[in-house]
Amino acid sequence: MKKQIKYVSAAEAVRVIKSGDHVHLSSVASAPQCLIQAMCDRGRNHELKDVHIHHLHTEGPAPYADPEFEGVFQLDSFFVGGNVRKVTQSGYADYIPVFLSETQKLYRSGVLPCNVAMIQVSEPDAHGYVSLGTSVDATLAAVECAEHVIAVINKYVPRSFGDAFIHVDDIDIFVQDDKPLEEAHFSVPNEIETAIGKNCAALIEDGACLQMGIGAIPNAVLAQLGNHKDLGIHTEMFADGVLPLVESGVINGRNKAIDKGKMVSTFLMGSQKVYDFIDNNPGVAMMDVGYTNDPFIIAKNPKVTAINSALQVDLTGQICADSLGTKFYSGVGGQIDFIYGASRSEGGKAILAMPSVTNKGVSKIASTLTLGAGVVTTRAHAHWFVTEYGAVNLYGKSLQERARLIISVAHPDHQEELDKAAFERYGAHHTYIKATTQTK
């Protein structure tokens, strides 16, 4: 029997927030914009101070991070999305370095308090359950631990399965706001991204279980998989690029050892087509991030192939993927979770991919990482490294061998200078690079 829900306005709902509280926002498309605006209105009226905001990547406006709210709201995010990148780089917001798999643990262990969880959910079903839709990730843990749970009931939130269901009895305050979810659209891969996609696709075997990070390169890889067979998905997120492969039968999960036949994810980021795809779809399991990103669970599937992006790599194989110098770009995310899991999967492959140069022609392969760069993937974790010039396997290679291999997939205009740097550091000559390059 359905519980009779009493709705209040967003302005009334956020009255439970007190100065000094820690507030969690559901992620990506599910960021509850009406509650965010109401909370910021209270901030502008000088009713709050020292409120800490936590979330993963979110789509849409993030006004609480604006400089006008200095001393009122402090954003300490678990992942830095494009909407808060500039303010984070400027010092008006901050970042908590944490593996994506452990974001839920911050709440469940009590390391971070959660006074208020502000979430967006589907309409309740006949049994009183709502779905977290596109954002389970650390949001489920926040709901479990929060003193107050405020939920926006929105008819546009898809009814997803897996760990996404919570009962209305676990929600304290209800707001209704039927607005379409924020969409994320990705550009068509350019020539370099397409070349990287082809090089990565050549490493993916039939029956592989895929994890793809966020961005143009993962989409470029997916675009090259039309002739593959029996692929599976176990990932932290997916977007529109998987849909054609599901429709054609390329992605079917038949070779998975766990969650066989199901696509497993913890949050979504894409167009309305993606949200429609997961709605009432038992073939998609939206799971707690402690499950999706647990390396030991990941490794239970055979041929796990994890493809992630990077900002910079040095000649030893250290991978920078979150910050360069004083510029902060994203976060640790799920990269290490899946690299560690894929490397322990039977027949698995851990792949880091990036263009060899920046848009300004600066080499992204460096003799040493930029001062202040964040090492997300250590040289001990690095296996396959891919650019538009090829793919090399660094696993089991000495420092000199790694330097030769990495230089072999650098932009030709930069190979000589990198070779000189390698020789000065290791005595590693460029002259026999081709003989040691591995492409599969």
Q: Do strands 173-176 and 209-212 pair parallel, antiparallel, or not at all (unpaired)?
A: unpaired
HEC-encoded secondary structure of 58-88: ECCCCHHHCHHHCCCEEEEECCCCCCCHHHH
Q: Which residues are catalytic?
A: 236
For 259, which DSSP code? S
Q: How far apart, in whole angstroms, are the C-alpha atoms of residue 309 and residue 307?
A: 7
Query: Residue 154 burial (CB < 10 Å; 0-12/13-18/19+)?
Result: buried
Q: How far apart, in whole angstroms, are the C-alpha atoms of residue 255 and residue 102?
A: 28
Q: How far apart, in whole angstroms, are the C-alpha atoms of residue 279 and residue 5?
A: 23
- Length, in residues, of the chain: 440
Comparing C-alpha atoms, which of 60, 77, 275 is closest to residue 164? 275
Query: Residue 428 burial (CB < 10 Å; 0-12/13-18/19+)?
Result: buried
